[in-house]
Amino acid sequence: MPPIIAEDKQPTSLRFVWRMIAPMLKPLGLSIVGLVFLSICIAVLRVAEPYIYGAIIDSVSDSVTGRLGATAGFEAILPYLISWAAVVLGVTLLYALHTWLAWYLGNRLCFALTTGLFEKMLALTIHRFQETRSGAMLQRLTSAEEAIWGINSQVFRSALQSCLTFAAIVVVGTMLDWRLMLASLAVVPIIVGMGIWNMHTSSVRQEQTNAKWEEAGGLVGDAFSNISTIQSEAGEPGVFKRYSDAYAQVLKLQYRLNVQWAILDAGGGGAFVVGRLFLFFVGIRFVFDGTATLGSLIMFLGFAGALYGTVQTVMSELPMATKSLNRLSRAAKILEEIPDIRDAKDAIPAPKFVGDVEFDNVWFTYQDADKSVLRGIDVSIPAGQTFAIVGESGAGKSTLAKLLVRFSDPTKGSIRYDGIDLRDLKLSTLRPQVGFVMQENMLFHETILHNLRFAKPNATREEVVEAAKRAQAHEFILKLKDGYDTVVGERGVKLSGGQKQRIALARVLLANPPILVLDEATSALDSKTERDLQQALREVMKGRTTIVIAHRLSTVMDADNILVMDKGKVVDQGKHAELIQRDNLYKKFWEIQAGGYV
């Protein structure tokens, strides 16, 4: 069953994003209320400033026309001047507090989103990461963080403040002179309509552009992950050209959007100039016929400046808001994605395994594949025994191993531990009891000690050293410059393949699981190290259910039972001594390897 991806539902961005952000806002309710309160205070003070300015103009006008003397005129405007200074100081202080609180809110939202998204990404199946570049996933994570910070800035800092200021100006202006207020608002519907239309028409283009940004980021991730291959093949020019071409393609899409937004911005600016001229023309007529004072006209020109400023702020934020909403929508699709490998609703914690393993008519077919990789596997492995699986490449050996830790589920049939179907157990309690060592083992860009402790973080240094000794890793670790504190580089690049395998094996041995799965776990070792390790593993395997997948038959000769696989089926089984007596596939493998070819 393929993963159910939310992208298939095609929801609207706003609804989708709100569904993601709403739970994150709930713990921040007090901060949001505080931010709204500060925004209201700032809006009131911003309305007061043009009002005071208009009153001062009227007082000066009365004084000049002789209605008031100079002393009386100055005394009349002095309270307004003091109030004006208080308003300016108040707005400055409130803006500082408002900005700090908005940043605090943004930081908390970034933390909630990125940690939640990262946690969900970690829960996605292996197949999901195989289908999507890791660089693209990383780009989506970082883009979501930038987007939530942008939304915080655009909504809580700019849009909220602007909308409240707009509302306060409209209410107060209507109360003072509804005619001048109406004249001030004349061009606003045109600008808002242009912005909404532009946002609607650009949303699809922005979706395509963001997808291309992720694709370019994926190329960078691929290049960094395969840098040794690139440099060994002198492939830098080709990789760089591919990235620069992808980036140029993104810029071409982004330029088209930028032109569209630039036209809106220029059109809005022009409309606001027309709006001021219209207000001035109407206001002068009212002043001339005595139904308005010069101070009122100046006051409403101030109102218009603040009014148009709020609209222009919201309109100028629309391009980034559209981009941020789209990025958050893409992040929300990850959060709502339902992995195909997940705990059942009635899953139970796995008990401590004894170690019985049973494959009951197991079939497996990869998505979009024509043929089944596994076909009717029926095998019972008693607790404490060692079973080996051999066969040609593509026979299904590694697929069988991955089913044991639920990297995938059987297409048909079931796998049971101690009689319990794997799908009935919680993954968090199942996987720690199955030690899985793969052929290709990636390490963290951390110290060897950190890598070894990954499966058992509370392990003592003595326990770590003991596990390393059992995995034949202690000796080479001590030869490194910083010993166990040596940083191995990204993906363990500073270590050889054999050294990485021994570190991975030591990590599993430190965790001490009741079931051990070794998928070509010694394939990168030299013959002497492999022989020494095999001797150590014999002790480790005692009393522990062990499933060994190997091409080198010398590593499986002592197994309690050897399964021979061919084309997804178990075609033969038995001990080594029995199998080489038959005219079968195993005997052919043995003759080839005994002849020195492997």
Mean pLDDT by 10 residues, the chain (598 residues): 39 65 84 89 86 78 64 74 85 89 88 85 77 73 82 78 87 89 87 75 72 77 71 76 84 79 73 83 85 83 84 75 76 78 89 93 85 91 92 87 90 93 92 84 85 88 90 88 87 79 86 87 66 71 86 82 91 90 86 62
Same fold, 6-335 and 357-594: no
Structure tokens, 107? 């930081």
Amino acid in position 382: P
Cα–Cα distance list, 349 to 352, 405, 429, 431, 434 (Å) = 9, 15, 6, 11, 14
* CATH tag for 6-335 (out of 2.60.40.1220, 1.10.3720.10, 3.40.50.11900, 1.20.1560.10): 1.20.1560.10
Other Cβ atoms closer than 10 A to 598: 11
Cα angle vertex 318, ends 314, 321, to 5°?
A: 115
Max intra-chain CA distance, the chain: 126
| Distance separating alpha carbons of residues 283 and 300, to the nearest angstrom | 9
Distance CA 217, CA 114 (A): 18
Would you call 439 helix, strand, or coil by DSSP? coil
Distance separating alpha carbons of residues 546 and 93, to the nearest angstrom = 69
Which among 421, 435, 415, 397 is positioned nearest to 515, based on CA atoms? Answer: 435
Nearest of 160, 163, 138, 150 to residue 106 by alpha carbon: 150
CA 61 to chain centre: 62
Length in residues, the chain: 598
Q: Which two tokens stand for residue 2?
A: 């393929």
If you compute the radius of gyration of the chain from its CA atoms, what whole number of angstroms results?
35
- The position carrying tokens 């029995």 is 578
**Residue that the structure tokens 């139970």 belong to:** 348
Task: Note the pLDDT of residue 596.
Answer: 42
Give the whole-angstrom CA distance, residue 477 versus residue 445. Answer: 16
Quick count: other Cβ atoms within 10 Å of Cβ 15? 11
Beta carbons within 8 Å of 310's beta carbon, 6+ residues apart: 161, 162, 163, 165, 166, 169
Q: Residue 232: its pLDDT value, please?
A: 63
Looking at residue 360, its pLDDT comes to: 94
| Sign, CA torsion 35/41/47/52 | negative
Residue 463 amino acid letter: E
Neighbours of 480 (CB within 10 A): 16
Report the distance separating Cα 272 and Cα 194, nearest Å: 13
With beta carbons less than 8 A apart as the criterion, state whether 374 and 396 touch: yes
Type of residue at 385: Q
3-state secondary structure labels for all residues of 104-154: HHHHHHHHHHHHHHHHHHHHCCHHHHHHCCHHHHHHHHHHHHHHHHHHHHH
Tokens coding 597: 């070819």
Q: Which CATH architecture has domain 357-594?
A: 3-Layer(aba) Sandwich (3.40)
Domain ranges of the chain: 6-335, 357-594
Query: 294-334 pLDDT, tens per residue?
Result: 888 888 888 888 888 888 777 777 767 777 777 787 777 77
Torsion angle in degrees (nearest 10) through CA of 278, 282, 285, 289: -170
The pLDDT of residue 521 is: 64
